[in-house]
Amino acid sequence: MVRLLLTRGLLDRALAVLREELRAAPKNADLLRVIVRIHRAMGNEAAALGDIATGLGHVPEHPGLLADRAAMMMDAKRWTEAEADIRTLMRLEPAEEAWPRELARCFMDGGRFADGIAQLEAVRDRNPADPKRWWDIVYAYTDRGMHAEAVPA
C-alpha cells in the first residue's frame, strides 16, 4: 500500500499510513527512517529532524538515524553537528570504512582541508596495499585543483 502511494507521488497519504504503523511500533527505527526520507523529499527538513530526534529518544545511538542526521547536517553545511554524529558512528561501527571517509569530507567541505587529508591518510594506513584508499587522497586534491599536491613526494 505504502509503495503504491509513494510511486503515485501521494506522499501525504503515505505518511499518514506510516504514522499509523509507527504508533503500533514506536521503536521501529527503520520505519521512522522511511518517514524521515519522505519528509526530506517533501522539503520538510524540520519535520525530518524532529522525527530523528524522536527516534533517537526511543533508540539512542541508532546508526541509521545518526547517519541520516549527519547527512542532513552536511547538506545544511552544519559541519560541527555532522562531525559529532559521524564520530559517534565511528565509535559504534569501527569497522565501517564509510564513516572516516565521511568525516574527512566533512572536514574538507567545512574548510579544514588538512584535517580531512589526515583522516583519509589514516584510512589509507589501515591497508596501504588497497589502491582505492590512495585514490581517495588523490581525488581530494585534484577535485580542488591541487594537482601538484596529489603526487606524493
**Separation between Cα atoms, residue 131 and residue 125, nearest integer Å:** 11
Better pLDDT: 19 or 84: 84
* Distance in angstroms (rounded) separating the CA atoms of residues 40 and 63: 18
When pLDDT is averaged across residues 122-128 and rounded to a whole number, the result is 92
What was the pLDDT predicted at 147?
Answer: 77
Whether the Cβ atoms of residue 12 and residue 4 lie closer than 8 Å to each other: no
- pLDDT band with cut points at 50, 70 and 90 for residue 79: very high
- What is the distance between the alpha carbons of residues 85 and 112, in angstroms, rounded to a whole number? 17
Is pLDDT of 1 > 80?
Answer: no
pTM comes to 0.83
Greatest Cα-to-Cα distance within the chain, rounded to the nearest angstrom: 60
Model confidence at 153, in pLDDT bands (50, 70, 90)? low
Q: Are 34 and 18 in contact (CB under 8 A)?
A: yes
pLDDT at 151 over 80: no
Per-residue pLDDT, 22: 84
CB-based contact 54:28 (threshold 8 Å): no
Task: Tell me: pLDDT of 152 over 70.
Answer: no
Average pLDDT (53-73) is 95
**Segment 124-145 mean pLDDT:** 91
Mean pLDDT of 10-19: 86
The phi, psi pair for 132, rounded to 5°, reads -60, -35
pLDDT at 95 over 80: yes
Radius of gyration of the chain (CA): 19
pLDDT in tens, 34-43: 999 999 999 9
Judged against a pLDDT cut of 70, whether residue 55 lies above it is answered with: yes
- First-residue to last-residue Cα distance in the chain: 59
